[in-house]
């Protein structure tokens, strides 16, 4: 469970059972977020994102999002195909039944796809990072993660900075600190503005995410975890 400025909380779970997508076994990763406290009274948020990852290479095969943010609602499913195209299925806001579907090739409108599904790519990247072995990793090593942008496939880079001990709600924990390489832009305040910590053990529990933006600092921090072997 994570908390954002005491305004909301979220849970991230990985289903113990495998799920078939396109006849391929996949891991299902689900994130549920909601507003809490006084913030919930003024602006209710009930968001649910998820991704199905191919067990053989951890590539995302299917995304979904069910959003309720105040009066705004949106439900969609994405099915990624081998031919570099994506089927987008729009669902009824209440019944979640299909009301429209269409296909986009990545070269047609990839920016729209990426911006709309940033959370899903973050989830997929998190699972990918947790699958790696960091026993012999050195500072400033760059980890390549498959991505799509500007009409092309490429690997975006996640830089490993160092090992360090951080204080969390569940105690002081040895951690691995990562920084995504983000092109210079007006949103983020400085170089290495976004930082991400995993626990430095076999579980690689996501501990914290911090982003320094021009309008303030955004932080997500772990509150609790369970069912990790």
Task: In whole angstroms, give the CA distance from residue 182 to residue 23.
Answer: 35
Q: Are residues 70 and 33 in the same domain?
A: yes
Same-domain check for residues 40 and 114: yes
State the residue range of the domain holding 181: 135-229
In angstroms, the CA 181 to CA 17 distance is: 34
Angstrom distances, CA of residue 213 to CA of 119, 172, 193, 210: 18, 26, 7, 10
Q: Are residues 2 and 81 in the same domain?
A: yes
* Token pair of 108 as six digits: 């047609």
CA dihedral sign, ordered 182, 116, 199, 215: positive
H/E run at residue 116: helix 106-116
Q: Specify the DSSP element, H or E, that contains 192.
A: none
Looking at the fold, whether 2 and 105 belong to one and the same domain comes out as yes
Q: What is the pLDDT of residue 150?
A: 38
Shared domain check, 60 and 149: no
Residues 165 and 225 in one domain: yes
Predicted pLDDT of residue 57: 78
Same domain, 113 and 142: no
Query: Domain count of the chain?
Result: 2
- pLDDT (tens digit, 0 to 9) for every residue of the chain, 229 residues total? 333 445 567 787 888 899 999 899 999 988 888 777 666 777 788 888 888 988 887 778 888 888 888 888 889 888 887 666 778 888 988 777 888 888 876 555 554 554 444 445 566 677 778 888 898 888 888 887 765 443 345 566 788 999 999 988 888 999 999 988 776 656 666 677 788 899 999 888 888 878 776 656 667 777 777 666 5
pTM comes to 0.60
What pLDDT does residue 84 have? 65
Stated as kind and residue range, the H or E segment containing 219 is strand 216-222
Residues 215, 166, single domain; the answer is yes
Check whether residue 14 and residue 95 sit in a common domain: yes
176, 217: one domain: yes
CA atoms of 84 and 203, how far apart (whole Å): 33
What pLDDT is stored for residue 24 in this prediction?
92
pLDDT at 129: 83
Supply the pLDDT for residue 118.
Answer: 47
Q: What is the pLDDT of residue 148?
A: 45
């Amino acid at each position: 469970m994570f908390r954002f400025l005491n305004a909301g909380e979220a849970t991230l779970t990985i289903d113990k059972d495998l799920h078939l997508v396109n006849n391929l076994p996949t891991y299902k990763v689900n994130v549920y977020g909601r507003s809490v406290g006084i913030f919930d009274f003024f602006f209710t948020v009930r968001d649910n994102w998820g991704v199905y990852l191919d067990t053989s290479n951890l590539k995302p095969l299917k995304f979904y999002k069910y959003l309720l943010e105040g009066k705004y609602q949106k439900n969609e499913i994405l099915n990624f195909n081998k031919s570099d195209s994506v089927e987008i299925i729009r669902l009824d806001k209440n019944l979640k039944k299909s009301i429209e579907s269409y296909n986009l090739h990545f070269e047609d409108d990839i920016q729209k796809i990426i911006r709309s599904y940033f959370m899903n790519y973050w989830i997929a990247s998190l699972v990918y990072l947790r699958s790696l072995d960091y026993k012999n990793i050195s500072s400033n090593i760059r980890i390549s993660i498959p991505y799509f942008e500007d009409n092309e496939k490429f690997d975006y880079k996640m830089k490993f900075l160092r090992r360090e001990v951080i204080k969390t709600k569940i105690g002081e924990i040895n951690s691995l600190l990562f920084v995504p390489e983000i092109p210079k832009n007006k949103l983020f305040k400085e170089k290495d503005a976004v930082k991400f910590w995993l626990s430095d053990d076999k579980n690689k529990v996501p501990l914290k995410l911090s982003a320094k933006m021009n309008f303030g600092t955004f932080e997500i921090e772990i509150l609790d975890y369970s069912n990790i072997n």
